[in-house]
Amino acid sequence: MVGGLSRARGASTPGTSSNVEQIEKELHRLGDPEIAQFLTRFFKTGPGEYGEGDRFLGIRVPILRKLAKKHASLELPGCRALLISPYHEARLLALLLLVQAYARGSEEQRNAIYRLYLDHTTCVNNWDLVDSSAEHIVGRHLEKREKTVLYDLARSPSVWERRIAIMATFRYVKAGSFDETLRIADMLLLDAHDLIHKAAGWMLREIGKRDQPVAEAFLRPRYRRMPRTMLRYAIERYPDALRRRYLRGEVEPGSTASAALPVTESSKSSNR
């Protein structure tokens, strides 16, 4: 861990602990039991479900975004204290704070935030937590660096780390660069988890919105093998007639050359 980031929750850090306590009290005060009950169901927290055991206070995201702006000065040890909270909203607030801090931080601060994030991926443990942070911290940090970490994450047994890997590449898709997304989508093509099918399909849809021929060059050799959910997400914006042909398996695979994505240094395994 970097600097003071390894301090346990409640450790004395001047100017930090009282702020965290204040924020936690504020979160509890803003909680709504009825909303919490709904969120518990919505985020699948029952036995055997992907969010098993997660706890909610019942706070809507717009309120958390306002709190992130209000408490933007919270230091990294305070963000870590919120990130390891048992409450979902505290973890989401921590991630919103880290995204803000990364955007305005120095190189040293950005390195610390990136390291904190990767050291606590077990706390980034639901799809909304991943989707609100991965591209803005991991994707942005690796934008001009080697991207071996993404491939390590894509091979992880953790569904959340695999989702981080594909969602981090949204940063590159928005900039018109698709290679990393396509390589990782290929790695995740036969993933067993529905949340990965949705994320990979979503990223393929985003590529298709920007360059449909590139997306189809990826899809045609693979679409009959990929999970149905992934395919439906990927082709959601296609013309109806073409979309129906994909769903019926009537689109010709085309050149198999497009099935083989180039292997680069980025796709080789490495340590984080």
* Per-residue pLDDT reduced to its tens digit, 16-65: 445 999 999 999 999 999 999 999 999 999 999 999 999 999 999 999 99
- Print the domain residue range for 202: 148-267
**Residues 72 and 19: beta-carbon distance below 8 Å:** no
State how far the Cα of 47 lies from the Cα of 187, in Å rounded to an integer.
Answer: 29
CATH number of the domain residue 244 falls in: 1.25.40
CA distance 53 to 126: 11
Looking at residue 89, what is its pLDDT? 98
SS (H, E, C) 150-176: HHHHHCCCCHHHHHHHHHHCHHHHHCC
Question: How high is the pLDDT of residue 178?
Answer: 97
Instruction: Quote the pLDDT of residue 96.
Output: 98
Domain for residue 134, yes or no?
no
* Residues 154, 233 share a domain: yes
Rounded Cα distance, 72 and 80, in Å = 14
pLDDT value for 3: 31
**120 shares its domain with 171:** no
Q: Are residues 170 and 260 in the same domain?
A: yes
**44 shares its domain with 155:** no
- Give me the DSSP letters along 205-265: HHHHHH-HHHHHHHHTTTTTTS-HHHHHHHTTTS-HHHHHHHHTT-S----GGGGSPPP-G
Residue 130 included in any domain: no
Low-confidence ranges of the chain (pLDDT < 50): 1-17, 255-260, 262-271
pLDDT for 272: 54
Count each helix (H run) and each strand (E run) in the chain, helices first.
Answer: 17, 0
Looking at the structure, tell me whether residues 169 and 259 fall in a common domain: yes
